[in-house]
Amino acid sequence: MISKLRPKKIDFYILGEVLGPFVGGVLFFSFIFLMFQALRLAESFIVHGVPGPVLAKITGLMLTTFLPISLPVAFLIGVLVGFGRLSADSELVAMKANGMSLKRLTTPVLLLGFLIAMLSLILNLEWVPSGSRELKRTMIRLTNTKAVSAIREGTFTTGFFDLLVYAEKVDSKTNRMERVFIFDERDPKKPLTIIAKNGEIVPVKTESDLGSTVALRLYNGNIHSNEITSATYQKVDFEQYQLFLKVEAGEDTATIKPNYIPYHDLRGMAQVEVDARRKREYLAEIWRRYAVAFAPFLFVLIGVGYGTVRTRSARAGAMIITILVVFPYWFLQAACTKVVYNGYLPAPIGMMIPNLILLIVGIRAYRSATW
């Protein structure tokens, strides 16, 4: 019994054929996803002045939230490409001539699909909802955080901490300025006009990575103030004058959708929820996570069935079949989700309909496999 269960060279060989395209697919889809988010990341880095560690955190959270989609799709492509290559090179025929059945060759791929399904389940239940929620909170805080505008040489700048700033010369390397003019109207009743011979901008570390604080140090100048209520004018000369300009990080308050809630919290909320529609939404989300997680296990049957069909290009055929399988699956799942929301079907039945159809298609494809 132990010798029968021990993996053989043929098992590792088949797994190698599937794992290569699978890993490549995960990397490819992750790269494509980041390309779509490139402008968003560039805005965070350039406009909002987000430090490198926070940008790396945002990138990691984005990749994590995309894994539940990329893993099943990449696995389907891996199975299609792997068995397509074996079929195109007549290796499956040689294996059949040596007494190996299709069921025997499918066993290691089924085990791999089960492992990927378990990984997807762990991601869907806890990691991805927590990551999506943290990403949403971080992006909201970032959006609500005011960006620090750059002071341009010889130009009146209006976006620098609500100040009107003019500098005749600006050294971007040292953040030093010469012949500086500042108009401060943050207090409408007491506007200030500050003129200085020299100045510099010194960044100050804050408790929040998304906050912005700078010290604006001015040298050898004077402050002109005109208090409107008392109609008085005042002039103060200084050798050094310093302004601390701080912008707090934005709030992270937002409406939390069910897909942002971890599994244990979502299950508890579904048990105590009084509103019927809201309860159906929670239950639909719970069963959707189960359905999506076990999709890779069902993709094995489709991948083996259609992968054995000989084509001129295994990769091109794999992409076409993947599109024809994945897109209808997601559209059907979205339709079933709406049906469950409206109360026409219980959540366990409604959310498992796409997987049931996927199972029927997979069994038909597997039975009609030509090799």
Same domain, 163 and 265: no
Q: Cα(179)–Cα(220) distance, rounded to whole angstroms?
A: 10
> For the segment 237-279, what is each residue's pLDDT rounded down to a tens digit?
999 998 877 655 544 444 567 888 888 888 888 888 878 888 9
Q: Mean pLDDT across the chain, nearest whole number?
A: 82
User: Which helix H or strand E contains 157, and what residues bound it?
Assistant: strand 157-160
* Within a domain: 348: yes
Token pair for 11: 């098992």
Q: Cα(139)–Cα(253) distance, rounded to whole angstroms?
A: 11
- Number of Cα atoms under 13 Å in the Cβ half of residue 129: 20
The pLDDT score that the predictor gives to residue 147 is: 45
Higher-scoring residue by pLDDT: 280, 318: 280
Query: Reading across the β-sheet that carries 212-227, which strands appear in turn?
Result: 157-160, 163-171, 176-184, 192-203, 212-227, 232-247
Give every CB contact of residue 123 below 8 A, 6+ residues apart in sequence. Answer: 64, 67, 68, 71, 293
> Is the pLDDT reported for residue 128 higher than 70?
yes
Q: Cα(72)–Cα(362) distance, rounded to whole angstroms?
A: 15
pLDDT tier, 48 (very low <50, low <70, confident <90, very high otherwise): low
Higher-scoring residue by pLDDT: 242, 202: 242
The pLDDT score that the predictor gives to residue 134 is: 83
The pLDDT score that the predictor gives to residue 146 is: 46
> Is the pLDDT reported for residue 301 higher than 60?
yes
For residue 46, give the DSSP letter: I
Burial of 277 (0-12, 13-18, 19+ CB in 10 A): exposed
The pLDDT score that the predictor gives to residue 53 is: 78
Domain closes at, from 205, 230, 247? 247
pLDDT tier, 288 (very low <50, low <70, confident <90, very high otherwise): very high
Same domain, 229 and 277: no
Same domain, 19 and 137: yes
Same domain, 241 and 264: no
> Is the pLDDT reported for residue 42 higher than 80?
no
Domain closes at, from 247, 274, 291? 247
* Within a domain: 224: yes
Q: Cα(261)–Cα(338) distance, rounded to whole angstroms?
A: 19
- Given a contact cutoff of 8 angstroms between Cβ atoms, the answer to whether 350 and 336 are in contact is yes
Domain closes at, from 229, 247, 265? 247
Q: Cα(212)–Cα(203) distance, rounded to whole angstroms?
A: 8
The pLDDT score that the predictor gives to residue 148 is: 45
The pLDDT score that the predictor gives to residue 1 is: 47
> Is the pLDDT reported for residue 210 higher than 60?
no
* Within a domain: 262: yes
**Strand, helix or coil for residue 45:** helix
The pLDDT score that the predictor gives to residue 233 is: 85
**Strand, helix or coil for residue 174:** coil
Same domain, 217 and 335: no
Burial of 255 (0-12, 13-18, 19+ CB in 10 A): exposed
Q: Cα(82)–Cα(17) distance, rounded to whole angstroms?
A: 5
> Is the pLDDT reported for residue 30 higher than 80?
yes
> Which percentage of the chain shows pLDDT scores above 90?
31
Same domain, 29 and 138: yes
**Strand, helix or coil for residue 54:** helix
* Within a domain: 87: yes
Reference 164, options 201, 193, 200; nearest CA is: 193
The pLDDT score that the predictor gives to residue 312 is: 58
pLDDT tier, 15 (very low <50, low <70, confident <90, very high otherwise): very high
Same domain, 314 and 238: no
* Within a domain: 4: no
Domain residue limits at 161: 157-247
83-87, 140-144, 206-210, 271-275 — which is least confidently predicted?
A: 206-210
pLDDT tier, 282 (very low <50, low <70, confident <90, very high otherwise): very high
* Within a domain: 150: no
Instruction: Name the domain count of the chain.
Output: 2
> For the segment 65-97, what is each residue's pLDDT rounded down to a tens digit?
888 888 999 999 999 999 988 888 888 888 888
The pLDDT score that the predictor gives to residue 44 is: 61
> For the segment 226-238, what is each residue's pLDDT rounded down to a tens digit?
877 777 888 999 9
pLDDT tier, 213 (very low <50, low <70, confident <90, very high otherwise): low
Same domain, 222 and 357: no
Same domain, 134 and 261: yes
The pLDDT score that the predictor gives to residue 351 is: 94
> Is the pLDDT reported for residue 317 higher than 80?
no
Same domain, 199 and 107: no
Q: Count CB-CB contacts under 10 A for residue 93.
A: 12
Q: Cα(181)–Cα(254) distance, rounded to whole angstroms?
A: 40
* Within a domain: 74: yes
Instruction: Supply the pTM of this predicted model.
Output: 0.68
> For the segment 342-368, what is each residue's pLDDT rounded down to a tens digit?
999 999 999 999 999 999 999 998 888
Same domain, 191 and 323: no
Higher-scoring residue by pLDDT: 51, 136: 136
The pLDDT score that the predictor gives to residue 47 is: 54
Same domain, 242 and 331: no
* Within a domain: 3: no
Question: In which residue are the tokens 């409408």 written?
Answer: 188
